[in-house]
């Protein structure tokens, strides 16, 4: 089973989410200050990669997931080009 398939099927990674210990609204706020605060939490999160893969795979359109805003995830996908975001994350 590929890494992506495993993460899609196994949602147990959510149990390790650091954001479950804070106000979830922080991850869906629109302000730059809130974005910075949320990203600081993501940096320390043990399931950041799994979370980012989940959001990219969705794709999930809003909120901070895996340490990236929606705009940053879109840019990441675009910059990955034809090679694809999975290759860029070294999970292909």
Q: Which residues bind ligand SF4 (CB under 6 A)?
A: 17-19, 27, 41-42, 45, 47-48, 51, 64-67
Looking only at Cα atoms, what is the longest distance across the chain? Answer: 39
How far apart CA 52 and CA 58 sit, in angstroms, is 10
How far apart CA 29 and CA 21 sit, in angstroms, is 17
Which CB atom, from 7 or from 51, has the smaller least distance to ligand SF4? 51
Minimum Å gap between C-beta 82 and ligand SF4 is 27
Minimum Å gap between C-beta 32 and ligand SF4 is 17
- Residue 71's Cβ-count burial label (10 Å; 0-12, 13-18, 19+) is exposed
Which CB atom, from 37 or from 80, has the smaller least distance to ligand SF4? 37
Minimum Å gap between C-beta 45 and ligand SF4 is 3
How far apart CA 52 and CA 27 sit, in angstroms, is 13
Which CB atom, from 27 or from 85, has the smaller least distance to ligand SF4? 27
């Amino acid at each position: 089973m590929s890494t992506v398939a495993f993460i899609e099927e196994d949602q147990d990674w959510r149990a390790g989410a650091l954001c479950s210990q804070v106000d979830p609204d922080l991850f869906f706020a629109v302000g730059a200050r809130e974005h910075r605060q949320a990203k600081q939490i993501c940096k320390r999160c043990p399931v950041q990669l799994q979370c980012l893969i989940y959001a990219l795979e969705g794709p999930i359109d809003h909120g901070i997931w895996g340490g990236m805003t929606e705009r940053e995830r879109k840019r990441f996908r675009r910059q990955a080009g034809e090679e694809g975001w999975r290759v860029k994350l070294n999970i292909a």
